[in-house]
Structure 1
Amino acid sequence: MSNFVIRKVAVLGAGVMGAQIAAHCVNARVPVVLFDLPAKEGPKNGIAIKAIENLRKLSPAPLGAPELAALIEPANYEEDLARLGECDLVIEAIAERMDWKHDLYAKVAPAIGPQAIFATNTSGLSITELSKGFAAGLLPRFCGVHFFNPPRYMHLVELIPTAATDPAILDRLEAFLTTVLGKGVVRAKDTPNFIGNRVGVFGLLAAMIEAGKFGLTYDVVDDLTGAKLGRAKSGTFRTGDVVGLDTLAHVIKTMEDYLPDDPFAAHYGMPPVLAGLIGQGALGQKSGAGFFRRQGKAILRLDPTTGDYVPADGKADDAVAKILKNKDAGQRLRALRDSGHPQAQFVWALLRDTFQYIAVHLADIADTARDVDFAMRWGFGHGIGPFELWQHAGWLEVAQWVQEDIDAGKTLSDAPLPAWVTSGPVAERGGVHAPEGSWNPAAGRFEPRSSLPVYGRQVFRAPLAGEGIVPLAAGKTVFEDEAIRLWTLERADLDDVLIASFKTKMHTISPAVTLGLLRAVDLAEQDYRGLVIWNDGEPFSAGADLQAIVPLFLSGGVQAVAPEEERLQQLMLRLRYAQVPSVAAISGMALGGGCELSVYCTRRVAHFESYLGLVEVGVGLIPGGGGLTYLARRAAQEHAAAPDTALLQFLKKYALQAATAQVSKSAIEARRMGYLREDDPIVFNVHEVLYTAIREARALADRGWRAPWKETFAVAGSEGIATLTSQLVNMRDGGFISEYDFHLGRKVAEILCGGNIEAGSRVDEQWIMALERRVFMELLAEPKTQERLTGMMQTGKPIRN
Structure 2
Amino acid sequence: MSQKPLVRRAAVLGAGVMGAQIAAHLTNAGVDTVLFDLAAKEGDPNGVVLKALANLGKLSPAPLASKSLAEAITPANYDSGLDQLKDCDLIIEAIAERMDWKQDLYRKIAPFVAPHAVLASNTSGLGINTLAEVLPEELRHRFCGVHFFNPPRYMHLAELIPARTTDQAILDGLETFLTTTLGKGVVIAKDTPNFIGNRIGVFSILSVIHHTHAFGLGFDEVDALTGPLLGRPKSATYRTSDVVGLDTMAHVIKTMADTLPNDPWHPYFNAPAWLGALIQKGALGQKTGAGIFRKVGKDIVVLDLEKQDYRASDRGAAPEVVEILKTKNPAEKFAKLRASEHPQAKFLWACFRDLFHYSAFHLADIADTARDVDFAIRWGYGWQLGPFETWQAAGWTQVAQWIAEDIAAGKAMSSAPLPAWVTDGRAGVHGPSASFSPAKGADVPRSSNPVYCRQRFPDPLIGERFAPGETVYENDGVRLWHDGDGIAVCSFKTKMHTVNNHVLAGLQEAIGIAERDFRGMVIWQPKEPFSAGADLAGALGLLQAGDVAGFNAMVADFQATSQRIKYSLVPVVGAVRGLALGGGCEFQMHTARTVAHLESYIGLVEAGVGLLPAGGGLKEFAVRASQAAGPGGDVFAQLKPLFENVAMAKVSASALEAKELGLLRKDDVIAFHAHELLHIAKQQALALAESGYRPPLPARRVQVAGNVGIATFKMMLVNMLEGRFISEHDYEIATRIATVLCGGDVDRGAIVDEEWLIRLEREHFVALAQMPKTQARIKHMLETGKPLRN
Shorter-chain TM-score: what band? over 0.9
Paired residue for 1:745, among 734, 748, 752? 734
Are positions 1:446 and 2:440 aligned together? no
In the TM superposition, 1:255-294 aligns within 5 A as 255-294=256-295
> In the alignment, which residue of structure 2 is the partner of 1:461?
458
C-alpha distance in 1 between matches for 2:401 and 2:250 = 34
Conservation of the 8 A alpha-carbon contact between 1:506 and 1:539: yes
Cα distance 1:135–1:483, how it changes in 2: closer, same or farther (>3 A)?
Answer: same
Deviations 1:391-447 (A, max 9, x none): 2222222222322332332221122322222224xx1xx221112311101111110
In 2, distance between residues paired with 1:391 and 1:341?
24
CA distance in 2, matches of 1:240, 1:268: 16
TM-fit CA distance, 1:295: 4.2
Distance in 2 (alpha carbons) for counterparts of 1:324 and 1:739: 48
Specify the alignment match of 2:493 in structure 1.
Answer: 503
| TM-score, structure 2 as length reference | 0.97
- Asked if residue 529 in structure 1 is aligned to residue 519 in structure 2, the reply is yes
Structure 2 residue aligned with 1:483: 477
Alignment deviations for residues 744-767 of structure 1 (CA, whole Å, 9 cap, x no partner) = 212211211122222222222221
Which deviates further from its counterpart, 194-203 or 456-465? 456-465
Q: Percent identity at matched positions?
A: 55
Query: Equivalent residue for 2:594?
Result: 604
1:277, CA displacement in angstroms?
2.5
What is the CA distance between 1:306 and its match in structure 2? 4.9
Q: Distance in 2 between matches of 1:132 and 1:170?
A: 18
Q: Is the 1:355–1:387 Cα contact (8 Å) retained in structure 2?
A: yes
CA 1:336 to 1:746, structure 2 compared with 1: closer, same or farther past 3 Å? farther
Check 1:733–1:59 CA distance in 2 against 1; reply closer, same or farther (3 A cut): farther
Instruction: Give the TM-score of the pair, scaled to structure 1.
Output: 0.96
Which runs of 4 or more aligned residues in structure 1 lie more than 4 Å from their structure 2 counterparts after TM superposition? none
Give the equivalent residue in structure 1 for 2:407.
406
Range with greater deviation from structure 2 (761-770 or 281-290): 281-290
- Aligned ranges for residues 344-355 of structure 1 at < 5 Å? 344-355=345-356
Within 5 Å, give how 1:739-778 maps onto structure 2: 739-778=728-767
Q: Gapped runs of 5+ residues in structure 2?
A: none
Which residue, out of 658, 663, 676, partners 1:688? Answer: 676
Letter in 2 for 1:762: I
Alignment deviations for residues 559-616 of structure 1 (CA, whole Å, 9 cap, x no partner): 2222221111100001101100000001111011110111111100000010100111
Q: What is the alpha-carbon distance in structure 1 between the residues aligned to residue 245 and residue 284 of structure 2? A: 6
Alpha-carbon distance in structure 1 between the residues aligned to 2:321 and 2:733: 44
Q: Aligned with 1:433: secondary structure?
A: coil
Whichever residue aligns with residue 712 of structure 2, its letter is T
Aligned 8 A contact 2:4 2:176 in 1: no
SS of the counterpart of 1:299? strand
Which runs of structure 2 are paired with 1:236-385 in the superposition (5 Å)?
Answer: 236-306=237-307, 308-385=309-386
2:341 and 2:135 mapped to 1: Cα distance?
Answer: 58
Deviation per residue, 1:696-750 (Å, 9 max, x gap): 0000000000111112211112221221122222333334333322222122112
Alpha-carbon distance in 1 for matches of 2:584, 2:32: 33
Q: Is the 8 A contact 1:120 1:146 kept in 2?
A: yes
Task: Give the corresponding residue for 2:627.
Answer: 637
User: How far apart, in 2, do the equivalents of 1:697 and 1:567 lie?
Assistant: 25
For 1:13 and 1:680, the matched residues in 2 are separated by 34
Q: Which amino acid aligns with 1:234?
A: S
Q: Pick closer, same or farther for the CA change 1:780–1:331 going to 2, 3 Å.
A: farther
Separation in 2, partners of 1:774, 1:339: 62
- The SS at the match of 2:545 is helix
CA contact (8 A) 1:558 1:780 kept: no
Task: Quickly say closer, same or farther: Cα 1:500–1:174, change in 2 above 3 A.
Answer: same
State the 1:265 CA deviation. 1.1
User: Structure 1: which 5+ runs fail to align?
Assistant: none
- SS of 1:798's partner is coil
Match of 2:778, as an amino acid?
Answer: L
| Residue 531 to residue 262, structure 1, CA distance change in 2 (3 Å) | same
Task: Return the offset for 1:229.
Answer: 1.6
- What one-letter code is carried by the residue in structure 2 that aligns with 1:703? S
Letter of the 1:475 counterpart: G
* 1:305 to partner: Cα distance: 4.2
| Whole-angstrom distance in 2 between the partners of 1:49 and 1:268 | 38
Amino acid at match of 1:290: G
Residue aligning to 1:433: 430
Aligned with residue 709 of structure 2, among 720, 732, 738:
720
Aligned-partner SS, 1:138:
helix
Question: Displacement of 1:2 after TM fit?
Answer: 8.4
Q: Kindly provide the amino acid, as one letter, of the partner of residue 778 in structure 1.
A: A
- Report deviation, 1:316: 2.4
Read off the aligned partner of 1:660 and give its amino acid letter. Answer: M
* Aligned position for 1:699: 687
Q: Which position in structure 1 is the counterpart of 2:90?
A: 89
8 Å contact from structure 2 (residues 121, 144) kept in 1: yes
Residue equivalent to 1:146: 147
Q: Distance in 1 between matches of 2:222 and 2:606?
A: 37
Matched residue of 2:141: which SS?
helix
User: d(CA) in 1 for partners of 2:352 and 2:317?
Assistant: 16
Equivalent residues, number: 788
3-state SS in 1 of match to 2:389:
helix
Matched residue, 2:189: 188
CA distance in 1, matches of 2:692, 2:61: 43
- Give me the whole-angstrom Cα distance separating, in 1, the residues matched to 2:690 and 2:64: 35
Structure 1 SS opposite 2:138: coil
8 Å CA contact retained: 2:246, 2:284? yes
2:603 alignment counterpart:
613
Against the structure 1 CA distance between its residues 747 and 316, is the aligned structure 2 distance closer, same or farther, given a 3 Å change threshold? Answer: farther
- What amino acid does structure 1 have at the position aligned with 2:646? A
Instruction: Say whether residues 1:709 and 2:697 are aligned partners.
Output: yes
Which amino acid in structure 2 is aligned with residue 633 of structure 1? Answer: V
Which stretch of structure 1 is more off in the superposition, 724-733 or 656-665?
Answer: 724-733
Q: How far did 1:552 drift?
A: 3.1
Q: In the alignment, is residue 563 of structure 1 matched against residue 545 of structure 2?
A: no
* CA distance in structure 1 between the aligned counterparts of 2:16 and 2:693, rounded to whole angstroms: 49
Q: Which stretch has the larger CA shift, 589-598 or 404-413?
A: 404-413
